[in-house]
Amino acid sequence: MKKLFLFTVLLLISFFNGNNAQEAQKQQILFLNVKIFDGKSDKLITGKDVLVEGNRIIKIAPKIKTNRLVKIVNGQGKVLMPGLIDAHTHLMVTKPFDEAIYTYEPTYIASLATEAARRMLMRGFTTARDAGGPVMGLKRAIDEGIVPGPRIFPSNAFISQTGGHGDFDLSMTYLSPYFAGQLDKAYLFGWTITADGVPEVRKAVREVLRSGASQIKIMASGSITGAHDPLDVVEYAPEEMRAIVEEAEKWGTYAMAHAYSDEAVRTAIEAGVKSIEHGLMASPETLKLMKKKGVWLSTQCLNYSKNVEDFGVEMPANVAAKFNEAKKSAERVYKLAKKYGLKLAWGTDTFGSLEVQDTESQEFTARSKYFSNIEILRQVTSLNGELLSLSGKRSPYPDGRLGVVEEGAYADLLIVDGNPLQDITLLAKPEESIQFIMKDGTIYKNTFNPKKD
């Protein structure tokens, strides 16, 4: 009987200790004296507190009372808003593509990418949709709390036709696994898969999804930077594109497509692609089709606010010509997209060096030429969050909403010194303007010296 009693006592102690440990893990943080931009409203919400428990926002209400120990963050009347989301990044591309793949050691590129991710988070970007590259190792290290960085929705390897934008092997010394011969380093290290014909593209999609991708990235047209794919080229036949989309949808996710020319954009839309990256040469008719089908236009204004000489590198003549051609039509597309009410994503597509990636926040200033402050703020928060939700069951973060300050949303939060609804350029100066950064309930920056309550 004594043994039974002792066992029961030990069991109860273990139970309560376990509960206490679990409670300790879910620390509460209460934000007081803040003006809230919730990711949607065109006016700041006042008179409400925000309570975070663990990695989620659990309550938004006036004068929240809590019966437990809670950490207080006094916002001193500053703006609390969702963490920023960049819908088009390439975190692994910290050197030009061909050099990152063929010249430098993979561990060196990964080390640079780790620093790029840290800097991105410290600019206030708590989530990134990575539009191609072997980013899974970095994502895992971030998710496990080993290194700081944003949440990552990975596309992993591009899917490209032979001679397409994702076919980096000019010499053909190495060949794709879909041919006889050696493996291309671009395939071997997870940068791209070159696939032609319906059976091959189906296999390629399955392989990319097996690797953990949350969405599929298709190269559907020529590019600006590619050495062998002219801008006007349409890549992939309609039946190949449809097969890619079908395979993605079988896995409950979607395909995004790099596409510039009008024909390439239309082909992708008609195949069922949900997000067009760039789309700068789309006709009014094609843009109206995007609106009708609810397809997203993922825009990057910063790159096309510059002239060739502004990039600080000598641009090959053919690349400069393609850039100028795309730049010429960019303003037209941005204005029409706004006029037709398209779903617009906020992205940057900055890559090639840490210094170039550090220009990410300048997108706010470049975008202000075409969109109002509230339009830009919605794009970089709630709208991008809506876009990322298209990953469905393939989402790596399925337990909360992103891009909003709402009950049940992930605790990805910023405190900004100033009102971005009135001055969007505040977000272009993150070091001085963004004074508090929280991602997944963890505080990464707090420099505004909150008052002790």
Q: Is residue 274 part of a domain?
A: yes
Task: Express each pLDDT in 152-178 by its tens digit.
Answer: 999 999 999 998 998 886 554 445 555
Query: Inter-axis angle of helices 238-250 and 262-271, to 10 degrees?
Result: 40
Q: Does residue 69 sit within a domain?
A: yes
Please give, one letter per residue, the 3-state secondary structure of 3-39.
HHHHHHHHHHHHHHHHHHHHHHHCCEEEEEEEEECCC
Residue range 360-380: average pLDDT?
Answer: 98
Looking at 316, 349, 371, which one is the last position of a domain? 371
Which two tokens mark 332? 């037209």
pLDDT at 179 over 80: no
Could you report the per-residue pLDDT of 190-205, keeping only the tens digit for each? 999 999 999 999 999 9
Neighbouring C-beta atoms of residue 67, cutoff 10 Å: 5
Tell me what the mean pLDDT of segment 372-398 comes to.
Answer: 98
Query: CATH no. for residue 432?
Result: 2.30.40.10
Q: What is the pLDDT of residues 330-365, one digit of tens each?
A: 999 999 999 999 999 999 999 999 999 999 999 999
The answer to the question of residue 331 being in a domain is: yes
Residues 6+ apart with CB under 8 A from 70: 28, 29, 30, 51
> What are the DSSP calls for 295-326, one per residue?
-EEEE-TGGGGS-GGGGSSPPPHHHHHHHHHH
Using pLDDT thresholds of 50, 70 and 90, give the confidence band for residue 413: very high
- Look up tokens 């303003």; give the residue: 331
**Alpha-carbon distance 307 to 296, whole Å?**
27
CATH number, domain of 216, equals 3.20.20.140
> Is there a contact between 287 and 333 (Cβ–Cβ < 8 Å)?
yes
φ and ψ of 378, to 5 deg: -65, -40
- Of 323, 354, 371, which marks where a domain is finished? 371
Q: How far apart are CA 288 and CA 282, in angstroms?
A: 10
pLDDT tens per residue across span 57-79: 999 999 999 877 899 999 999 99
Write down the pLDDT at residue 170.
56
Q: Does residue 93 sit in the same domain as residue 41?
A: no
Nearest to 244 by CA among 263, 222, 216: 216
The residue range of the domain holding 41 is: 24-82+404-446
Distance (Å, rounded) from C-alpha 76 to C-alpha 353? 37
pLDDT at res. 226: 77
Proportion of the chain above pLDDT 90, given as a percent? 77
Per-residue DSSP letter, 314:
P
Confidence of residue 81 (pLDDT cuts 50, 70, 90): very high
Structural domain includes residue 205: yes
Instruction: Report yes or no: 52 and 72 within 8 Å, Cβ to Cβ.
Output: no
- Clarify whether residues 312 and 209 are in a common domain: yes
For residue 23, is pLDDT > 60?
no
- Report the pLDDT value the prediction gives residue 171, as an integer from 0 to 100: 52
* pLDDT tens figures, 284-329: 999 999 999 999 999 999 988 888 777 766 778 888 888 888 888 9
Given the DSSP bridges, would you call strands 434-439 and 413-416 parallel, antiparallel or unpaired? antiparallel
Q: Is residue 267 part of a domain?
A: yes
**Helix, strand, or coil (residue 149):** coil
Place of tokens 């060196």: 108
Whole-number pLDDT of residue 321: 84
Q: Which has more pLDDT, 32 or 24?
A: 32
The pLDDT of 118-125, averaged and rounded, is: 99
DSSP letter at 294 equals T
Strands 413-416 and 71-82: antiparallel
Across the beta sheet with 151-154, what order do the strands follow?
84-89, 125-130, 151-154
